[in-house]
Structure 1
Amino acid sequence: MINVHEVFSTSITLDEVERANQEFEQTSSDPSDKAVRLCHASTLLPLQYERFGHAFIPFSPMLCAFYAGSDQDKGDTSIYVVRIEADGSHSSVQKLACPQLNQHSHSTPVMFYLNQGESMRARRRGEGGHLIDTAAGKAPTVADTLIAEAQKLYPSMDIKGTDESIIALVYKAGKADSATVSYLSMSFNDGRHFITPREMVPDTAVKGRGPVRTKPYLVRKGPYAGRVIMPCSVDSNEGLAFVDYSDDDLRTLHQSNEITPSTELKEASAKAVFANGVVQAALFEDLGNHATEDNDLSSLGKEELEQKLSRVHMIMSARGSQVYVADSEDAGSTFSEPYAVPLYNNLAGIDCVTYMNRLLVCGKLVTDKDKCDPEAGAPLAIYVSSDGRSFTELLRLEDEPKGVFTSPYMQVDRRHHLLYVCYTDHRKAIKIRIFRLLKS
């Protein structure tokens, strides 16, 4: 069992976002008179230092990004980033200078630290382990171009391309009748400012690359150590999922096979009636990767352990449909055909993390397929599983079944036993909550 205790909560309101919007418009070359009326699809990034730690608020400063505008379909949504200090104050709200004007939408931002893989690979080499071939991917990104621009923009800063403090922000933008395009921005000063975004992979036919709404997964051990795996999906009723993965810290991308449930599986689920595909996938490690009192990894042989460390799973679903899981035995290069698990999704957005060999899944979910009804809704809750196949409710975040509490996002800090959660509150605020997790 896992015990959960809330230690902090806050909300980012439309008033804060509108003030940032007005400040931005005062200096804009193409000002708009539209007020901010909604915010949605948030992402969190706890910053990587603890010098602002506080006895009563046990977390480092963090960033929260989301999109906001007058209406999602009016073509004026933009990406905003809020920095939240260790005392809970919101020290800044930045509206990104998105260069894609008159787009149908700017949406689903994701933040992560850029250069985390090399230290994992160096540790693996230092331990005498072999690494898989890290050949460059077929899709070069603009990561190094943005770093070079920042070196000119901030001449007084000693910016190195390999700095582990560089923060990447990826989001989608698209016109009403065309596919979305992925854009990349970066911050070199702990999120206080993000430079002007660029199209992330400019020279490929598939423009929607990189993570979609949920965080990348970093392989920390084993023969694929240092690989960054990014969950992707095509957001439509016939949507499919795949991953982009990188063995050189996002300088180039590889793409996995496409993942979608078979027609027979969708018919057998008897609940894929609102959508036939899968959207907004999330990734999680193989359960049992951590040595604990009830999980002795020393019993595994070297080859068995290497196989376990190379295994990663994708959880996915669509609005009003079955939740599926697909498995990869080669750290995201290829995935199996999805299989159904006993969770049913009343709204599209779900996310997951692992903690102490347990899988935590958040969303407006039910475990009884007869109660899967988007019109009736369901409480926003976190479900827990010890095997990835059966689930029980761990924590109810919001009780109101029809409440518009959507697009949950989770991060876990295993070192300090903290669970970070953010989600949309009726598209009028972004809620952020932090829980302490303890295994009983």
Structure 2
Amino acid sequence: MKPLFFALPCFLLATSIRADDAVLKSEFIYDSGPYPQIHATTIVETSKGDMVSAWFGGTHEKNPDVCIWVSRLVDGKWTESVEVANGVQPDGKRHPTWNPVLFQPKDAPLMLFYKVGEDPQKWWGELRTSEDGGKTWSAARKLPEGILGPIKNKPVQLADGTIICPTSTESVAKPSLWRAHFEVSKDLGKTWTIVKPPAEPAIDAIQPSILDLGGGKLMSLGRSKHKKLFQVFSEDLGATWGPMGLTELPNPNSGTDAVTLKDGRHLLIYNHTPSGRSPLNIAVSKDGKTWEGALILENEPKKEFSYPAIIQTSDGLVHATYTWQRKKVKHVVIDPAKLTAKPIVNGEWPK
């Protein structure tokens, strides 16, 4: 199968790794928009090779006026963002929307998953599709009860067309129990089954990403409450998953994303720090277990650079988007062939 798809005494400054040649472009998708605050970006390459990005924006996170906005890259420029989903209900009540996820399945319309609800404990999943690369969208379809869709990061599609969505729940208990799991569809989202890792050890984890390790093996990793990224492995293309564990990579309880490259390497984009949401880093691995520091995209103490998304496009380049201080969407294009990396040892970013 082909690849699917700081007072910081322990974490060194951005000048520790010089990989500027790998960054081909760094830009804001928009200069100003009809929303004071944005968050939770996503990016996709459509079946026609076009680039589309989305995020949620409004007065502030959790406010009922928060909507899903989409922008397309046309002739080298990002279009003005367009509202494509909101939380207005048939009875007139309005909820905020959350965490859009764009996904282009094979030989099928572009998918836009997102959440609706007053908070992550009570939200539900909805899905819209586009037949024209994100120009126009279908009516919203509420996902079945208990199915949320990909909670933050993109699904993967197996060779037989099966879609695996990395997802998670946050309970209403206090403190909230976080549990990562997977939702599987063999018919482009019409029906779903849920696959969960073993209940023990109980690790509070959400917002997974999925990597393809080859030979039928998958790996998932992402955000946890434990100041480190979690990881979990499957030996049978996601039909079952082993017990969850923690990596040595620090995590400030903030969103991450990861992608398997065409050459078999894996890229992870995340905040390499146990607290705060700066710096924003990219690490690389050959096996998904041993990681090397490759690039620091942002590093300003007390600023927020967070909730990234990362993909590889058909031309081999890597595109990442992320929240830039809750004010703008940053888009970065990277040549993965030009990344230089040094080992991360005991969770410390390399000199």
Task: Compute the TM-score of the two structures, normalised by the length of structure 1.
Answer: 0.66
Shift of the alpha carbon at 1:177? 9.0
The structure with the largest alpha-carbon Rg is 1
**1:234 CA drift (Å):** 1.2
Deviation at 1:186, TM superposition (A): 1.1
CA distance in 2, matches of 1:215, 1:227: 14
Write the deviation string for residues 380-419 of structure 1: whole angstroms up to 9, x where unpaired.
Answer: 0101122322222101100214321010100013x52200
Contact 2:116-2:124 at 8 Å conserved across structures: yes
Which amino acid in 2 is paired with 1:405? F
Which one of the candidate residues 141, 164, 182 is aligned to 1:198?
Answer: 141
Which residue of the other structure, out of 3, 14, 23, is the alignment partner of 1:6?
Answer: 23
Q: State the partner residue of 2:205.
A: 278
Kept after mapping to 2: 8 A contact 1:14/1:428: no
- Map of 1:395-414 to 2, 5 A cutoff? 395-413=295-313
2:68 is equivalent to residue 69 of structure 1: no
Query: Structure 1 pair 99/108, CA: closer, same or farther in 2 (3 Å)?
Result: closer
Change (3 A) 1:281 1:103: farther
Partner of 1:416: 315
1:252 corresponds to 2:195: no
- 2:219/2:288 contact within 8 Å kept: no
Q: 1:212 aligns with which of 151, 155, 176?
A: 151
Given that 2:156 and 2:210 are in contact with CA atoms closer than 8 Å, whether structure 1 keeps it comes out as: yes
Task: Give distance in 2, aligned partners of 1:382 and 1:66.
Answer: 21
Match of 1:181 in 2: 124
**Correspondence 1:382 to 2:282:** yes
Q: Any conservation in 2 of the 1:255–1:333 contact (CA below 8 Å)?
A: no
In structure 1, the partner of 2:242 is: 336
How do residues 13-412 of structure 1 correspond to structure 2 at under 5 angstroms?
A: 13=30, 15=32, 17-18=33-34, 36-49=35-48, 60-87=49-76, 89-98=77-86, 100-101=88-89, 102-114=93-105, 116=106, 164-176=107-119, 179-201=122-144, 204=145, 206=146, 208-220=147-159, 225-235=160-170, 237-258=176-197, 262=201, 277-286=204-213, 289=214, 308=215, 310-319=216-225, 321-355=227-261, 356-366=263-273, 372=274, 374-375=275-276, 377-412=277-312
What SS class does the counterpart of residue 71 from structure 1 fall into? coil
**Offset of residue 213 of structure 1:** 1.1
Identity of aligned residues (%): 24
Contact 1:241–1:260 (Cα < 8 Å) also in 2? no
CA drift of 1:178 comes to 5.6
Deviations along 1:63-106, one digit per CA (max 9) or x if unpaired, are 1111001111322111111111242x123421024353444420
Contact 1:257 / 1:333 at 8 angstroms: preserved in 2?
A: no
Cα deviation digits, residues 184-230 of structure 1 (max 9, x gap): 111111111112312122xx3x1x4211110001123xxxx321110
Q: Distance in 2 between matches of 1:329 and 1:382?
A: 26
Alpha carbons 1:183, 1:197 under 8 Å: kept: yes
Q: Judging changes above 3 Å, is the alpha-carbon distance between structure 1 residues 258 and 322 closer, same or farther for their aligned structure 2 residues?
A: same
Secondary structure of the residue that 2:241 maps to in structure 1? coil
Distance, in Å, in 2 between the alignment partners of 1:389 and 1:260 is: 22
Secondary structure of the residue aligned to 1:240 is: strand
Assess, with a 3 A threshold, how the Cα gap between structure 1 residues 86 and 319 changes in structure 2: closer, same or farther. Answer: farther
Question: For residues 304 and 198 of structure 2, what CA distance do their matches in structure 1 show?
Answer: 29
Higher helix proportion, which one?
A: 1
Q: TM-score, normalised by structure 2?
A: 0.82
Secondary structure at 1:337 match in 2: coil
Give, in whole Å, the separation in 2 of the partners of 1:325 and 1:398. 25
Distance (Å, rounded) in 1 between the aligned partners of 2:98 and 2:111 = 15
Q: Who is 1:429 aligned against? A: 328
Q: Distance in 2 between matches of 1:259 and 1:169?
A: 29
C-alpha separation between the residues in 1 aligned to 2:120 and 2:53? 29
Structure 2 CA distance, aligned partners of 1:333 and 1:179? 27
Alignment coverage as a number of residue pairs: 312
Runs of 4+ in 1 over 6 A off after TM superposition: none
Greater RCO, 1 or 2 (C-alpha within 8 Å, sep 6+)? 2
AA in 2 matched with 1:40? H
Aligned residues of 1:172 and 1:183 also touching (Cα < 8 A): yes
In the alignment, structure 1 segments of 5+ residues that lack a partner are 19-35, 50-59, 117-163, 264-275, 290-307, 367-371
The verdict on how the C-alpha distance between 1:400 and 1:261 changes in structure 2, with shifts beyond 3 A counting, is farther
Could you tell me how far apart the structure 2 residues matched to 1:333 and 1:62 are? 31
Contact 1:103 1:176 in 2 (8 A): no
Higher alpha-carbon deviation: 40-49 or 277-286: 40-49
Q: Secondary structure at the match of 1:438?
A: helix
Q: What do residues 353-379 of structure 1 show as CA deviations (whole Å, max 9, x unaligned)?
A: 12222221111024xxxxx2x25x541
- Residues 153-189 of structure 1, C-alpha deviation per residue, up to 9 Å, x if partnerless? xxxxxxxxxxx25111110011359611101111111
For 1:113, give the aligned amino acid.
Answer: Q
The CA distance in 2 between the partners of 1:166 and 1:70, in whole Å, is: 31
Which amino acid in 1 is paired with 2:22? H
